[in-house]
Structure 1
Amino acid sequence: MTGTESRNIVVRPAEPGDWPAVAELRWQWIVQNGAAPQALEREDFVRHFVTWASENASSHHCMVLVRDTEVIGMAWLAIVQRVPTPHALERASGDLQCVYVVPQARDDGLGSRLIKATLSEARHLGLERVTVHSSTRAIPAYTRTGFENTPRLLQARVAGPTP
């Protein structure tokens, strides 16, 4: 990518008009990973996704990567309210989800830009921490942007196939 092309790229909060393009990115991601949807047509998924994004805008903040007018990447920050303590009556944390950049725009630092912008949004919202469940390929991008392993964060699968 040349410097001129990179100047036409911005990271910003998604707007309602972006939802169909974001839904298309989500569909594309699933198909690229070999899990072609069989129970749902693309148009039905996009329609459902647009409704879901609108209904969940208070708990799921989406950042988009835009080249000129085309949405080429997304990242979602799911916000979880935490139990109050005597030290902090209002607490929340975040989970970084669905970070995706179209294949032709990868490996130029755009994913890191998207992650950094999402973490900036998390700071602005006053979140205590942000977690992420990463693919092996993306781990370096997350560590470059401040994520680290911790022995205290554990997970348990409660749905789907067991390992």
Structure 2
Amino acid sequence: MTIRRAGAPDVPALAEMRHEWTVEWSDGETVDDPDYRARFAAWFAAEPGRLWWVAQDGPATVGMLNMVVFTRMPRPGRPVSRWGYIANVFVRPKYRDAGAGRELLDAAIAYARDEDFARLVLSPSERSVPFYRRAGFGPADNLLRWEG
């Protein structure tokens, strides 16, 4: 398994995994959306503050993770700091429970440490909570949420 930063050449594989994620979470229901891949590519290009990692088994892309990076507003007497929001973690079923997800998460955490991020946050599915807890994530009791 190889973990690496992803970029524009990976867009087709990322779009395909996002499609697989959607089908899996909708209990196998497929959606006919002929413009999806073009919309995904345009969205990817418009998200320069989002970092991507992929897991590869040989030439096959088998997992993905992205992180949105936020730069905090400067404060007098303090250096500018950043934080990250981890999103859209997906590993193809055949590769689950074999370390790919943890390696993707470890790569994002290492980046955040190297860049001296103030924090990393995420919004886990109920099923993924144990996975993130094992990696050291805990409740974010100091956040509020608005749902419009």
In the superposition, the TM-score normalised over structure 2's length comes to 0.89
Unmatched 5+ residue regions in structure 2?
none
In the superposition, the TM-score normalised over structure 1's length comes to 0.82
1:104 and 2:97 correspond? no
Q: Which residue of 1 aligns with 2:26?
A: 34
1:79 and 2:69 correspond? yes
State the superposition RMSD in angstroms: 1.8
In 2, the alpha carbon distance for the partners of 1:75 and 1:19 equals 13
1:117 and 2:107 correspond? yes
**Pairwise CA distance, 1:54:** 2.4
Q: Deviations over 1:20-69 (max 9, x none)?
A: 1011000110111117564732xx2112212221231x300011011101
Structure 2 residue identity aligned to 1:27: H
The share of aligned pairs that are identical, in percent, is 28
Unmatched 5+ residue regions in structure 1?
1-8, 159-163
In 2, the alpha carbon distance for the partners of 1:81 and 1:37 equals 37
Q: Deviations over 1:71-92 (max 9, x none)?
A: 1100000011222222434222
In 1, the alpha carbon distance for the partners of 2:22 and 2:52 equals 18
Q: Which residue of 1 aligns with 2:43?
A: 52
In 1, the alpha carbon distance for the partners of 2:2 and 2:31 equals 34
